A and B are shown apart, each in its own frame.
Chain A
Amino acid sequence: MRTELDFWHRIESGLRASLPVTLALLLTLVCTLPLGPPGLGQIMPSLPMICVFYWTVYRGDLMPLVATFVIGIVHDSLSGAPLGGSAIVLLTLQGLAARQRRFFHGKTIAVVWAGFAALTAIVQSFGWLIASLYHLQALPLMPAIFQAFLTMALYPLIALPFGVILRELLQPLPVAPR
């Protein structure tokens, strides 16, 4: 009896623990859908960037590097971009965010949002550089800039529901004070 309970408990906590990666994959699919306004395809906000950043800051243990890599590959596969480009951008974002985890801990959403905006600007420039290197020519800058701004603008819209999920279904990971 007890082992059975144990079994279901383990399944439940396993499902909860897989939420960040599952949500990130789902939003990666959503951001390749042909949504509303014409021309949005090129400047569609990068939802995987928001997911990877958020979960790295609040539950880094539930967003392993390998998962980020896979999310990047899925995004590249669906968008038709050279494989690996998004993976590099997302992993860089994760690496940078993980270093700032202590700084972000316990700060208001506005502070974290500003941090996200700064990191987005850095990794988006990096991504543009990589794509330009791949094609051996400078790509148009405007779509990349628009995409970065839209991604920054959309952050709270995704972060707020994620915050509810974090509080209700997962526990924020305690971070040792410096």
Chain B
Amino acid sequence: MARRTRGSLIRVAVPIKALTHRFGLFLLLLSAMALMIVSRVDPDTAVDLRNGVVDTTEPILDALSRPVESSNRIVAEIDSMLTLREENAELRLAIDRLKRWELVARRMEAENAALRGLLNLRIESKPSFVTARVIGDSGNAYVRTLLANVGAVDGIVQGQAAITGEGMAGRVVEVGRRASRVLLVTDLNSRIPVVIESTRQRAVLTGDNTDTARLAFLPRDAQVTVGARVITSGHGGVLMPGLPVGVVSSITDGVVRVQPLADLGRIEYVRLVAWEGPRLEVLPEPAIANEAEGAP
């Protein structure tokens, strides 16, 4: 009996093996295409698989990126030693300028506090930060992302903004256990609700895989000038409002392009901003009833 089963198994298995050998390439190409279609139609499944791979390789990437980072730093050190004199003079000027700003900021802070007290303004929650090291660049011609070495265990959640000292770099789109992916503001899929700082005009900052991003949904009569600063608006309640993103770099034929403030090509560390936006919560029925009773 056993022998017969084995025989029939072989009888089936051998042609299958020959077939897969013959059409292996074809089958694998088909599965790769199927995967692409799945990741297009149902991104969540693809994200799980991707996070699995990222979490598995994270320790290796983390270890490999350390020497790379130190060598980059040595090059930067030598570079800065060569320009020490000029840098020093520049910094002195900057300190003078910033001291004046400090005075202004202090006065405004006091004024702000006083006015808030008068208005009884409800202060939004304060942000908290997690600083992460960049362990992966995209290495792909068609995407602009970064891998940071913090993940769900560090309290990172999807949608958090990633900022550098200069401004916003992108936002977290995928969170693994110990690594998370930051979609840069210049990526094709990046959409950030922003306002123009001086005129408070709303727009959506749209990436298109070039070095600058485009302002979409800007009203036709909007007054924009080159050099205007663009900051996050916080609309949608996901991103913290007021983070600087970029400056308008060119306006041609009604297309407004924005140069990101962060130097996206050479980010070594990012800060991920945890911020609880305002949320609408549906109160349970009794709570509403009690409140209604309590009200005079």
**A147 to B141, Cβ gap below 8 A?**
yes
Chain A residues within an 8 Å CB radius of B39: 82-84
**Cα A142 to Cα B75 with chains together (Å):** 28
**Cα A78 to Cα B61 with chains together (Å):** 10
**A131 to B139, Cβ gap below 8 A?**
no
Chain B residues within an 8 Å CB radius of A73: 35, 49, 53
Chain A residues within an 8 Å CB radius of B137: 32-35, 40-41, 44
Which A99-128 residues have a C-beta within 8 angstroms of B?
A: 128
The secondary-structure label for the interface of chain B is helix
Given A29-B61, A32-B136, A83 and B68 touching (CB < 8 A)?
A: no
**B29 to A32, Cβ gap below 8 A?**
no
Chain B residues within an 8 Å CB radius of A139: 142, 188, 209
Q: Does A140 contact B (CB under 8 A)?
A: yes
Which residue on chain B has the smallest CB distance to residue A133? B36
Given A38-B263, A42-B141, A131-B142, A30 and B57 touching (CB < 8 A)?
A: no
Chain B residues within an 8 Å CB radius of A92: 29
Q: Does A144 contact B (CB under 8 A)?
A: yes
Q: Does A88 contact B (CB under 8 A)?
A: yes
Which residue on chain B has the smallest CB distance to residue A85? B36
Chain A residues within an 8 Å CB radius of B147: 32, 78, 80
**B266 to A38, Cβ gap below 8 A?**
yes
**B64 to A36, Cβ gap below 8 A?**
no
Q: Does A162 contact B (CB under 8 A)?
A: no
Which residue on chain A has the smallest CB distance to residue B133? A34
Which residue on chain B has the smallest CB distance to residue A95? B25
B145 shortest CB reach to chain A, Å = 4
**Cα A69 to Cα B32 with chains together (Å):** 8
Give which listed residue, A30, A34, A79, A83, contacts B268 with CB less than 8 A: A34
**A84 to B33, Cβ gap below 8 A?**
yes
**B25 to A94, Cβ gap below 8 A?**
yes
Given A32-B147, A39-B265, A65-B24, A79 and B31 touching (CB < 8 A)?
A: no
**Cα A134 to Cα B39 with chains together (Å):** 10
**Cα A31 to Cα B65 with chains together (Å):** 11
**B64 to A29, Cβ gap below 8 A?**
yes
Which residue on chain A has the smallest CB distance to residue B210? A140
Q: Does A43 contact B (CB under 8 A)?
A: yes
Q: Does A143 contact B (CB under 8 A)?
A: yes
CB within 8 Å: A-B pair count: 168
Chain A residues within an 8 Å CB radius of B34: 84
Chain B residues within an 8 Å CB radius of A63: none
Chain B residues within an 8 Å CB radius of A18: none
Give which listed residue, A74, A84, A135, contacts B32 with CB less than 8 A: A84
Give which listed residue, B53, B65, B209, contacts A140 with CB less than 8 A: B209
Chain B residues within an 8 Å CB radius of A87: 28, 32, 35
Q: Does A66 contact B (CB under 8 A)?
A: yes
**B28 to A65, Cβ gap below 8 A?**
yes
A158 shortest CB reach to chain B, Å = 15
**B36 to A134, Cβ gap below 8 A?**
yes
B17-38 contact mask (Cβ, 8 Å, vs A): 1 or 0: 0000000110011011111101
**A72 to B139, Cβ gap below 8 A?**
no
What are 15 A-B interface contacts by the 8 Å CB criterion?
Answer: A29-B57, A32-B136, A34-B68, A34-B136, A41-B138, A44-B139, A77-B50, A79-B145, A80-B50, A80-B181, A82-B36, A84-B36, A88-B32, A91-B32, A140-B208
- B residues contacting A by CB (< 8 A) are 24-25, 28-29, 31-36, 38-40, 46, 49-50, 52-54, 57, 60-61, 64-65, 68-69, 71-72, 75, 134-147, 173-174, 181, 183, 188, 208-211, 263, 265-268
- A residues contacting B by CB (< 8 A) are 29-36, 38-44, 65-66, 68-69, 72-88, 91-92, 94-95, 128, 130-131, 134-135, 137, 139-140, 143-144, 146-147
